[in-house]
Amino acid sequence: MQLTINDIVRIFAVTEQTVNKWIEKKDMPCIKANEQYRFNYIELLDWALEKRVKLTPELLTLGETENHNPSVLYQALKAGNIYYDISGSNRGEVLKSIVDLLPLAQKLNKKSLLQMLIAREKMMSTAIGNGIAIPHVRNPVVLHMDHPSITLCFLKKPVDFKALDGKPVFILFTLLSPSVKKHLAILSRLAFCLQNTQLQEYLHLKASPEEILAEMRVLESKITPAVNAGKEER
């Protein structure tokens, strides 16, 4: 998606003079053609994160009009929402607090979902190390959902999740999927993104939802070329 300088003024809610200063002094990524600046959406997001420029809802919403690049992870996280200071002194209490927040349809039973999440943890911890866990049910099909969601929760106090690295968990991505195929696709994308040191830094600092969503959008865009290449080979 190519943006004009007028688009930048609108989505960042700044003056054209400010945008020109960003270009000259803050290395704002752009190209100049026919005496007019053009900006790439993903490069713009990456730059804004690096330079700590205040993100706006308009900037994040703009990316949703891009249909040529899949953004399954970003959309799932936006649907599931981000919460802070979740209470709980053990795995069961934490999972109950999270399930109470999940955006579930009325036909889905929260008590049953909680039991499935706890059973999954008893079978094998979903903690992946460095204070992060990804609670999810063993068989996504039983949920009968229309769309996937990821709910990110930051705990008030770290809790022992039996992680292999021995570190307590305080960052949880609760994943709900309508099918095994979508579940694996989102889980693999999430695992890829969580390898990124900058995203981990945002998570450990409990960054704003806007910063986390933007970083996810940038990281997920880096997966897209490989996915598209695979489709072309078929």
> Where in the chain are the domains?
2-65, 72-233
Judge whether 204 counts as a catalytic residue. no
More confident residue, 72 or 23: 23
Confidence of residue 107 (pLDDT cuts 50, 70, 90): low
In this prediction the pTM is: 0.75
pLDDT exceeds cutoff 60 at 125: yes
Q: What is the mean pLDDT of residues 55-69?
A: 62
Q: Which residues of 174-213 are buried (b: 16+ CB within 10 A; e: fewer)?
A: bbbbbeeebbebbbebbeebbeeeebbebbeeebebbbbb
List strand residue ranges (DSSP E) for 121-198, in order: 127-129, 132-133, 149-159, 169-176
Confidence of residue 68 (pLDDT cuts 50, 70, 90): very low
Structure confidence by residue, pLDDT tens digits, 186-198? 887 898 889 899 9
More confident residue, 68 or 142: 142
Give me the catalytic one of 136, 144, 147, 204.
Answer: 136
Which token pair is 135?
A: 């609670």
- Choosing among 3.40.50.10420, 3.60.70.12, 3.40.930.10, 3.80.10.10, the CATH entry for 72-233 is 3.40.930.10
- Cα separation, 163 vs 50, in Å, equals 31
List C-alpha distances in Å: 156 to 2, 78, 153, 206: 41, 22, 10, 11
Residue among 103, 126, 101 at smallest CA distance from 116: 126
CB 166 within 8 A of CB 130: no
Classify domain 2-65 at the CATH class level. Answer: mainly alpha
Round the average pLDDT of the chain to a whole number and report it. 85
